[in-house]
Structure formats: structure tokens, C-alpha cells
Amino acid sequence: MTPMETATVATAATAARPRLGAPKLVLLLGPPGSGKTMHAAQLAKRHHLLHLSTGAILRKYLDTDPRSEAEISPQRGALRKAVLAGELVSDDVIVKLLCDTLRAQLEPQQTLALLSPSTRAAACRSDASLSTASGAVLQRPYCGVILDGFPRTAAQAQMLLQHLRVPDVTLQLEVPPATLTQRLSTRGRADDTPATIRHRLAQYEATLPGIRAVLAPTVATSPVAAPTASRGASATTAMGARGGLLTVPAHDAPETVLSRLAHHVQSTLGPTPAFHPPTRAPAEVKPIAATATPASCERRLRPRWASRVRLAA
């Protein structure tokens, strides 16, 4: 391949990795058993979002902490005990794990775009290379981040606004308590005992007003038209604004709930860009020399094993 052809292929490969604007920040809240993780994973796939579940991050941390058992045994034991009892883990621990995961999963310029102005300035002061990363071409492009199950307390909501920028959309799943209890009782997790289920649901209801109070000034409160159940009811029956959070009924079939969520996320994020894999350079094929004889061509095209096969007379 000539140098010009190589440069053309490299340019096409670079163009296939688009430069995106500031990534969007989506919050998906809901009680245990409401289907947050399932719906967040589907939304992430549809809209090119990075899906971060604080529950999954915490469980991975407890199972795969790289330090030795002697160093982490007290902390791991306390966290594991809290998880199994249905208690909320320390806000500082959750926020640190979340921020560490963001830095590990996102490109530097995407991470900077998600930070609050004060946190962004501090990050650039501590690492000068971050301030020059804004013009780089994205290797792993995301349109944004969807946080599943965060924040879970008013303190976490305050820390979110302190470290990250204002969310673009916050959705809260609503499911009747009886339905939640039935779902949690049949999903087979070790921490889903009857007493733990009751405690976790009560804890969620107790912390939700505080989360609403913190996020209310930052979240739009007007209902948005969304597809509803089979009768085509008005939009406000499927989505309504309550306390600064857009509520979405989630007791229906999963595909119906996902359709409601996807509609609202689409209206917030705008059209999802189409990503294409980088163009690969074609394999270089060496032409047969013009002076080659028929015999030499036959030897070249013959499989290597052919010379080792002895035909019977």
C-alpha cells in the first residue's frame, strides 16, 4: 500500500470515531425491585450511554478488592454485613467508588465534562494533561452516563451536585409495594429475606423526600408526552412531575416501561448518533512477478502440505 493510501485509511478510521459534545447525565431512581438495573442497561444500549450501577460496583468491590485479606478484612466485613442487612453503605464509600469507576470507564475529556466547575478546576490543577485533552478524538465514545440507583440519600444527592454537574434528566420508577415484595421474594438473592425486604422498602420511602428536596431546584418539573398503555391515555397519566423528579409507573410489562423511559430519554438527549467501526486497511497482496514461469506459479499456489503428501502409484 502506498503512503497516500495508508494516510487515507487512517483518516477514515479517525473520522469513524466522532467528536461528541458534552456527555449527558441521566439519573434513574426507584425502590428495590423496580427494575432499575434492567431498564438502565437497555437504555444504555439504545442511546450509547455508560451504565453505572452503584449496587453492581459495590458488589464487585467486595468480591474483587485487589488488596490482601489482612488489609481489607475489617472494612470488607463491615460493608458485607451492611449489604446483607439491607443497610445503606457509607456515602463517602459509594461516592468514591462511583468517581473511581467514572475515571476508569470514560475518556479524560468526557470525565471532565461531567464534573462540576470547582471539581473540574481542581482535577486540572492536579493533572495538567487533563486540560489539553478536550480536543482529543474519542476512542470509546459515549453520549453520556446513566446512573442506576444513585443517589440513595439526601447526602449523596448533595455530593453528586458538588462533584458532578447538574443532571440532564432524573427519572423515578414507581411500583406498588405489594408488587415490589413479590418481585424481591422471587429473584433469589441472599439479601432478599422477608425482614430485609421490608426494611429496604421502608428505608427507600424514608430517604426519597430528602433526595427530592435536593434535586428539585435542578430538575425540570414539566410532564413530557410519552407513550402509555394500550388505550393511548394522555401523557400525564404515564409521566408526572412530583417533587422535582419525573415519575414513571413501572408496574406494567417491562417492554411498556422501557418504551416510556426511552421516549423521555430520547426527548432529552436528542437523536442518537450512529457509530460505525473504524475502517480497516485492506490486506496487502503481493502481485506475482511478470517473469514467473507456470511451474513457479504452481509451486507458489500449492498448499504447503501438498509437498509432503506422497501419492500412491
Domain that holds residue 135: 21-269
**Axis crossing angle, helix 36-47 with helix 254-269, rounded to the nearest 10:** 50
Q: How many CB atoms lie within 10 A of CB 6?
A: 11
Which segment, 51-55, 256-260, 270-274, is predicted with the most confidence on average? Answer: 256-260
Average pLDDT, the chain: 74
pLDDT for 221 equals 39
Residues 6+ apart with CB under 8 A from 294: none
DSSP strand pairing (49-53 vs 245-249): unpaired
Using CA atoms, how far residue 51 sits from 43, 128, 172, 178, 255, in Å, is 8, 28, 16, 28, 19
**225 lies in some domain:** yes
- Cα distances (Å, whole numbers) of residue 308 to 264, 301, 304, 305, 313: 67, 15, 8, 5, 15
Q: What is the pLDDT of residues 98-155, one digit of tens each?
A: 888 888 888 888 888 888 888 888 877 776 656 555 444 455 678 899 999 899 999 9
280-308 tens-digit pLDDT: 444 444 444 445 555 554 554 454 444 44
pLDDT: which is higher, 42 or 291? 42
CA distance linking residue 100 with residue 211, whole number of Å: 23
Q: What angle do CA 226, 230, 235 make, to 5 degrees?
A: 25
Nearest Cα neighbor of 60 from 69, 71, 48, 52 is: 52
Statement: residue 63 has pLDDT above 70: yes
Lowest mean pLDDT among 44-53, 159-168, 239-248: 239-248
Helix axis angle for 154-163 and 91-105, nearest 10°, is: 40
Q: Higher model confidence: residue 4 or residue 200?
A: 200
2-16, 132-146, 162-176, 225-239, range with the lowest pLDDT = 225-239
Does 297 reside within a domain? no
Q: Specify burial of residue 243 (Cβ count, 10 A radius: 0-12, 13-18, 19+).
A: middle
In a domain, 301, yes or no: no
Q: What cell numbers appear for 198 in the block? A: 421490608
Q: Which residue has the higher pLDDT, 270 or 49?
A: 49
Residue 233: in which H helix or E strand, if any?
A: none
| pTM recorded for the entire structure | 0.70
3-state secondary structure of 144: strand
Buried residues in 244-278 as b, exposed as e (16+ CB within 10 A): bbbbbbbbeeeebbbbbbbbbbeebbeeeeeeeee
Least confident of 26-30, 175-179, 275-279, 288-292: 275-279
What's 25's DSSP letter? E
- CATH label of the domain that carries residue 205: 3.40.50.300
Domain membership of residue 88 (yes or no) is: yes
- Omega before 227 within 30 of 0, i.e. cis: no
Tally of structural domains, the chain: 1
Radius of gyration of the chain from its Cα atoms, rounded to whole angstroms: 27
pLDDT tops 50 at residue 195: yes
Residue 6 covered by a domain: no
Indicate whether 9 belongs to any domain.
Answer: no
What's the average model confidence in pLDDT over 149-178? 92
Asked whether residue 214 is assigned to any structural domain, the reply reads yes
